[in-house]
């Protein structure tokens, strides 16, 4: 599960002027004592950086690539008696470039934070901090599934570290960082925000649910909520492959996906290669069995087994009539080439150079969670897991770990009462975390509190994959919109969104399509005009708004 498609626009820096106190030197000894109940500071290090250029804009947080000046504090602490050592990394802009705001930044997979997200935030004027939650810190997103840290020894869970990762370190982070910020600048941040996607989205919801006064604004995108179910249920397509004894090459699954998109693309009235109404799509992969497809120059035919795997991936795991978790929406890739590693998805396979002799390539977070947490390091061959073992594993995950990890409490009343504001968005084509888990959670929130939209809003992004990527329009300034909601009282009626640049005619500028993303359950309906412009769409209860406008 990779990271964060949340853009930090430069405009955010100018929302209000900052009257800084006198800057302190970038030395740990000059900080006042850090006091947080239950914590013991072990070490403080500080390093001053000037004209720092060894960074790149985070793919999901575009910032101007420029030299930056900042003070890097690392605070190491422990919870006495827990035998843990946690590091908080805090980067503070220098030379009057701080905008007065603090950001707690999320992580991905089983990693609590990413160092690569710090510099872009500093370049945009924020004081920013991440936590490693006490275990091995990876700045390489391809290694976010590592979870050996969760064991003290084979067969024994390191419960303090697991609890640190699940929630406690998230509460420590702002309490430590805000004291460092005040000690350095001479004043506390005027506003504090959380910004995360995937695991970072789960962390944002955890903060709202358990620690409602830590942040005034939260961006919790594509959240890995219901972790105990999701982390195991991601194996379901492979359980079906095991039952059938067939492991399709990805070119075959891509051919089925193409037929799926062709069948359901225009359910929203627009032909754009995106299924914007997956809930209305009734495409059955069995209808294309026997059709020819190209597999890197080799002509083949879609098999009945591959069709069944696709249908089961869309349906999700059931036991009898009882849904155990959600499937992938129609239009979602079965696998996506990763920017930091091999292809990943919930139905990925790997084959020989002729696209034959294929085998499962499991979602790494699922195998890591099952192997190191549920089975406590006891080795097992998941390629032989049958349905009954899958059901037992899923049940065990929920029984033992849901209360620690799942972040599924729909009661956000304390967060609302504290004046907090939160936005969640999720791509409809998310290949790792089925979006219906998030919409189901939001419906439960509204069921408990029908007025929750006054402090929490949820948006779906058709055609967008996990945190970023895909043919759809992804949000471009979610953090900015949370800031406006918190600081100016302007609630987001839509999220601004745009597609990644696509090639156009020769010598023409790349094509970018703009869309308004609408608050759930409203949809962005086409009402006429240029398909690349947001003004050609409006929020409506259904896509039938196009017909109504035509008749008028």
Q: Quick one: 71 and 163 in the same domain?
A: yes
Count structural domains, the chain: 3
The pLDDT value recorded for residue 244 is 97
Lowest mean pLDDT among 99-108, 272-281, 307-316, 339-348: 339-348
* 127 within some domain: yes
Same domain for 265 and 192 = no
Stretch 70-75: mean pLDDT: 96
Domain boundaries, position 95: 10-225+407-497
Q: Is the pLDDT of residue 139 over 80?
A: no
Sign of the dihedral through C-alpha 476, 130, 342, 292: negative
Question: Per residue in 422-478, pLDDT tens?
Answer: 999 999 999 999 999 999 999 999 999 999 999 999 999 999 999 999 999 999 999
Verify that 310 and 437 share a domain, yes or no. no
If asked whether residues 465 and 505 sit together in one domain, one would say no
Q: Are residues 82 and 145 in the same domain?
A: yes
Give the pLDDT confidence score for residue 14 in this predicted structure. Answer: 32
According to DSSP, the residues that pair with 41 across neighbouring strands are: 77
Query: Is residue 6's pLDDT more than 80?
Result: no
- The answer to whether residue 541 sits within a structural domain is yes
Which residues fall within 8 angstroms of residue 480, CB to CB, at 6 or more apart?
A: 7, 8, 9, 11, 12
C-alpha 445/C-alpha 440 separation (Å) is: 9
Residue 392 lies in a domain: no
Within a domain: 37? yes
At residue 42, the pLDDT reads 97
* Residue 138 predicted with pLDDT over 60: no
**Are 100 and 241 found together in one domain?**
no
Share of the chain above pLDDT 90, in %: 83
**Mean pLDDT of the region 320-334:** 97
Same-domain pairing of 156 and 51: yes
Query: What's the whole-number average pLDDT of the chain?
Result: 91
Same domain, 459 and 352: no
Helix count and strand count (H, E) for the chain: 14, 22
If asked whether residues 26 and 98 sit together in one domain, one would say: yes
The answer to whether 155 touches 191, Cβ cutoff 8 Å, is no
Confidence class for position 12, pLDDT limits 50, 70, 90: very low
pLDDT in the model for residue 46: 96
Q: What is the tens place of the pLDDT at every residue in 231-289?
A: 999 999 999 999 999 999 999 999 999 999 999 999 999 999 999 999 999 999 999 99
In-domain check, residue 391: no
Question: Tell me: the pLDDT tens digits for 204-245?
Answer: 999 999 999 999 999 999 999 999 999 999 999 999 999 999
Provide the Cα torsion 297, 301, 306, 308; round to 10°. 160
Spatial separation of the C-alpha atoms in residues 366 and 351, rounded to whole Å: 21
pLDDT tens digit sequence for 98-125: 999 999 999 999 999 988 889 999 999 9
Q: What percent of the chain has pLDDT over 70?
A: 90
Q: Residue 147 has what pLDDT?
A: 82
Residue 435 confidence (pLDDT): 98
State the average pLDDT over residues 62-77.
Answer: 90
pLDDT at residue 92, rounded to an integer: 97
77: in domain: yes
CA dihedral 55, 61, 62, 65 (to 10 degrees): -20
Residue 436 to residues 58, 135, 180, 315, Cα–Cα distance (Å) = 27, 31, 40, 11
Q: What is the pTM of this model?
A: 0.92
How far apart (Å, rounded) are the C-alpha atoms in residues 350 and 24? 55
Q: Is-contact 332 283, C-beta < 8 A? A: no
Active site residues: 198, 430, 466
Unique residue bearing structure tokens 């390539």: 361
CA 300 to chain centre: 36
**pLDDT tens digits, residue range 477-525?**
999 999 999 999 999 999 999 998 765 566 666 778 999 999 999 999 9
For residue range 375-411, what is the model confidence (pLDDT) as tens digits?
999 987 899 999 999 999 999 999 999 999 999 999 9
Does residue 76 form part of some domain? yes
Rounded Cα–Cα distance for residues 542 and 283 (Å) = 20
State the pLDDT confidence band at 10, using cuts at 50, 70 and 90.
very low
Residue 501: which region, alpha, beta or left (left: phi > 0; alpha: psi -120 to 50)?
A: beta
CATH of residue 458: 3.40.50.1820
Domain endpoint, select from 361, 393, 415: 361
Residue 143 — very low, low, confident or very high, per pLDDT cuts 50/70/90? low
pLDDT of the residue at 16: 34
Contacts of 364 (CB under 8 A, 6+ apart): 109, 145, 344
The residue written with tokens 């109504």 in the block is 548
Last residue of a domain, one of 452, 475, 497: 497
Residues 305 and 343 in one domain: yes
pLDDT at res. 549: 46
Q: Do 181 and 307 belong together in one domain?
A: no
Domain end call among 497, 520, 542: 497
20-38: pLDDT as tens digits: 455 568 998 989 999 999 9
Same domain? 36 vs 134? yes
3-state helix, strand, coil in the chain (%, to 5): 35, 20, 45
528 within a domain of the structure (yes/no): yes
């Amino acid at each position: 599960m990779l990271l964060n498609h949340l853009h930090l626009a430069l405009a955010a820096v100018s929302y209000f002027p900052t009257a800084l106190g006198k800057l302190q030197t970038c030395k740990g000894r000059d900080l006042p004592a850090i006091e947080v109940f239950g914590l013991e500071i072990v070490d403080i290090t500080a390093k001053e950086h000037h004209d720092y250029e060894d960074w790149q804009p985070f793919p999901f947080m575009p910032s101007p690539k420029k030299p930056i000046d900042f003070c890097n504090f690392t605070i190491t602490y422990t919870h006495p008696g827990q035998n843990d050592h946690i590091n908080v990394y805090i980067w503070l802009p220098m030379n009057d470039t701080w905008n007065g705001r603090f950001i707690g930044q999320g992580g991905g997979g089983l990693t609590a934070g990413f160092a690569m997200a710090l510099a872009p935030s500093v370049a945009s004027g924020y004081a920013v901090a991440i936590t490693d939650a006490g275990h091995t810190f990876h700045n390489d997103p391809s290694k976010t599934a590592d979870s050996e840290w969760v064991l003290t020894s084979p067969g024994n869970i390191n419960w303090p570290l697991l609890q640190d990762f699940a929630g406690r370190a998230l509460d420590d982070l702002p309490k430590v960082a805000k004291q460092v910020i005040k000690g350095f600048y001479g004043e506390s941040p005027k506003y504090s925000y959380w910004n995360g996607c995937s695991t970072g989205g789960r962390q944002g919801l955890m903060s709202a649910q358990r620690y409602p006064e830590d942040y005034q604004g939260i961006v919790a995108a594509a959240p890995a909520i219901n972790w105990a179910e999701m982390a195991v249920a991601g194996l379901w397509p492979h359980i079906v492959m095991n039952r059938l004894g067939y492991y399709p090459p990805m070119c075959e699954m891509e051919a089925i996906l193409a037929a799926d998109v062709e069948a359901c693309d225009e359910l929203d009235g627009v032909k754009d290669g995106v299924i914007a109404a997956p809930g209305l799509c009734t495409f059955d992969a069995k209808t294309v069995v026997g059709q020819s497809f190209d597999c890197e120059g080799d002509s083949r035919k879609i098999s009945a087994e591959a069709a069944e795997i696709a249908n089961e991936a869309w349906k999700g795991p059931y036991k009898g009539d009882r849904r155990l978790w959600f499937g992938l929406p129609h239009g979602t890739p079965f696998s996506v080439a990763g920017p930091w590693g091999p292809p990943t998805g919930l139905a990925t396979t790997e084959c020989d150079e002729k696209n034959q002799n294929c085998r499962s390539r499991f979602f790494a977070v699922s195998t890591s969670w099952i192997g190191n947490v549920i089975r406590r390091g006891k080795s097992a061959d998941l390629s032989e897991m049958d349905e009954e073992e899958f059901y037992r594993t899923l049940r065990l995950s929920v029984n033992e770990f849901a209360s620690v990890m799942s972040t599924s409490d729909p009661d956000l009343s304390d967060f609302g009462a504290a004046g907090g504001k939160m936005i969640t968005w999720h791509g409809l084509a998310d290949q790792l975390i089925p979006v219906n888990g998030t919409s189901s959670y939001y419906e439960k929130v509204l069921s408990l509190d029908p007025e929750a939209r006054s402090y929490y809003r949820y948006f779906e992004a058709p055609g967008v994959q996990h945190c970023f990527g895909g043919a759809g329009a992804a949000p471009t300034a979610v953090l900015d919109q949370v800031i406006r909601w918190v600081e100016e009282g302007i609630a987001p009626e839509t999220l601004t969104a745009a597609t990644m640049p696509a090639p156009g005619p020769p010598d023409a500028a790349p094509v970018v399509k703009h869309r308004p993303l609408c608050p759930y359950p409203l949809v962005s309906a086409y009402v006429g005009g240029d398909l690349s412009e947001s003004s050609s769409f409006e929020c409506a209860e259904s896509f039938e708004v196009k017909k109504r406008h035509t008749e008028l």
